[in-house]
Structure 1
Amino acid sequence: MYDGALNFREVAKLPTSDGKRRLRRGLLYRSGTPQLMPESSARRMVDELGIRLVVDLRQRQEAEREGQGGLARVEHRRLSAPFMVAAAKREGWEFPRFRDTDPLVPHYIAYLGSSTDAILAMFRALADPNAGPALLHCTAGKDRTGAAVMILLDAIGVQRSAVVADYVAGRDQIAAVFETLVALPSYGERIASMPHEAKNTEPDTAERFLSALDEHFGGIQTWLRDAGFGADELAALRDRLTEPVSESV
């Protein structure tokens, strides 16, 4: 669709658990790193989709080194909201390490233990009525972006089967994404060391992550409340990102 846009897709029309609302079209997009996008492609994306907010989930030093590609020369608001796990923060790793056994679910849960400020910043930016259409991205558009989108959708009441379906929707692109990233100096060695399971997006991973949110925190809404994201803020976010089914196209 857009040259150099890795693992790019819209997140839209997903139903809420009560069946009365669904995610609005034209407000939320997700992808991998934009650094390979030429300016012409980035400009076309922004012009055609109206993207005004870009939430960058990469580490700050990673984002500074890799850049935004052509997107840097197109007007938009960029929010740096780095997702990382506690061990990486504590021990100074730039990229978190995956466990050999069940690498993804504990990894995703760990984001909530050490990226509270980033998560709240992302939620508040998306709740802003002036935010406009938004693009969320990390590097592969799979793990940090995958976890971010799952907690966002779960928080506003999207049906969990739909949350899982969105997580796996880009699975046919993942191999090509990793083939592209492995050729880049910043990511080649890191990707080569990842266990095979960490390179996939399986429904079971998303299902167990959502269940783990309940087990560890009493659900993402409880986590948000305890982190200081108020009920009025959550309602505003839900109202902005969803619409009554009768109004949907």
Structure 2
Amino acid sequence: MDEPLDQLLTDTRPPRLLAIPGLRNARDLGGPGRLRSGLLYRSGWLAELTEEGTRELAKLGVRTVLDLRDPIELERFPDRTHDLSVTLAHFPLLPQDGVDRGDLPLTEIYPLIIDTAGPVLVAALRRLLEPAALPALVHCAVGRDRTGILSALLLALLGVSDEEITADYLLSNEGLGLLDGPVEYEDAHGVIRLSYPVRVELITDLLARVRSQHGNVQAYLGDHGLTDGEVSALRALLLE
């Protein structure tokens, strides 16, 4: 039987958040279910990564960085890799139609991504299967929403329980210092906005939407091009 969510959020397992200078909300995605540690990491952007932080990423062996941001974000806040030898790959999850969605609530952004970004999500997961791609780091702006969606879908594909997916998702509140309420941030257009703590229903509603429309996460990704062979390859790579 799956552990209760409140137990998952309050147990005494070793912390998964990583202290990497200049990298917000960084953690190893491994741990939930049988997902292997040391292969896939998630975080916020690398735009503020320090040279010390780069050395920490080098110790982790990161070879590939998957960036889920829009082109305007990349232009304003480019990733810093210093002398780190990595391949940067760009997979924007929001529609590239020139519309500023900064005022849209997350309750609209999440369904929008699920409804429009299926092929991009598949392309990002497929990138993990390329030779020498792992370990990899996936990020968006703060490593919470777009990164949280890709992470949740991958974890579900690998058979991780909804309770553990939700616990990983909510860990961003701690990683971004949101446990005590919203904090200010500057978006790609130079507008000061508030970042609010994420809620359980954002990710559970997203998974429910996928399942109501496609049956399950594997079928959703399959409908957008991910083959059964690629699913098997991801499981062989990432599961113990």
User: Shorter-chain-normalised TM-score: which range?
Assistant: 0.7 to 0.9
How far residue 213 of structure 1 moved from its aligned partner, in angstroms, is 1.2
Q: Distance in 1 between matches of 2:190 and 2:123?
A: 30
Q: Does 1:148 align with 2:124?
A: no
**Shift in alpha-carbon separation, 1:190–1:146, aligned structure 2, 3 A:** farther
Partner Cα separation in structure 1 for residue 204 and residue 35 of structure 2: 20
Decide which of 41, 56, 69 is 1:58's aligned counterpart: 69
Q: Percent identity?
A: 29
**Match runs of 1:87-236 below 5 Å:** 89-90=96-97, 92-99=98-105, 103-104=106-107, 106-175=108-177, 179=183, 182=185, 184=186, 186=188, 189=191, 191-192=193-194, 199-236=196-233
Where do 5+ consecutive residues of structure 2 fail to align? 1-18
Separation (CA, whole Å) in 2 of partners of 1:118 and 1:39: 31
Q: Distance in 1 between matches of 2:75 and 2:82?
A: 11
Q: What does residue 247 of structure 1 align with?
A: none
Structure 1 gap ranges (5+): 16-21, 244-249
Report the Cα distance in structure 2 between the residues aligned to 1:115 and 1:57, rounded to whole angstroms.
11
SS at match of 2:41: strand
Partner of 2:21: 3
Does structure 2 conserve the Cα–Cα contact (< 8 Å) formed by 1:46 and 1:52?
no
Change (3 A) 1:95 1:3: farther
Q: Alpha-carbon deviation of 1:46?
A: 2.6
> Any idea what SS the aligned residue of 2:144 has?
coil
Amino acid at match of 2:45: T
Give CA deviations for 1:32-89 in whole Å, capped at 9, x if unaligned: 11111122321x12321000010000112211221112x15421011100110x4xx3
Q: TM-score, normalised by structure 2?
A: 0.83
Contact kept, 8 Å, 1:45 with 1:51, in 2: the verdict is: no
Match in the other structure for 1:46: 57
Q: Go from structure 1 to structure 2 and tell me whether the alpha carbon gap of 1:94 and 1:52 turns closer, same or farther (over 3 Å shift).
A: farther
In the TM superposition, residue 111 of structure 1 has moved relative to its aligned partner by 1.0
Report the Cα distance in structure 2 between the residues aligned to 1:118 and 1:159, rounded to whole angstroms: 24
* Other-structure match for 2:78: 67
For residue 171 of structure 1, what is the amino acid of its counterpart? N
CA RMSD of aligned residues (A): 2.2
Partner of 2:90: 80
Give me the whole-angstrom Cα distance separating, in 2, the residues matched to 1:96 and 1:219. 30
In the alignment, the residues of structure 1 paired with residue 187 and residue 145 of structure 2 have an alpha-carbon distance, to the nearest angstrom, of 20
Query: What TM-score does the superposition give when structure 1 sets the normalisation length?
Result: 0.80
Asked if the contact 2:72/2:188 (under 8 Å) is kept, the reply is: no
The superposition leaves residues 117-160 of structure 1 with CA deviations (integer Å, 9 ceiling, x where unpaired) of 32122111112352121111001111111111111111222111
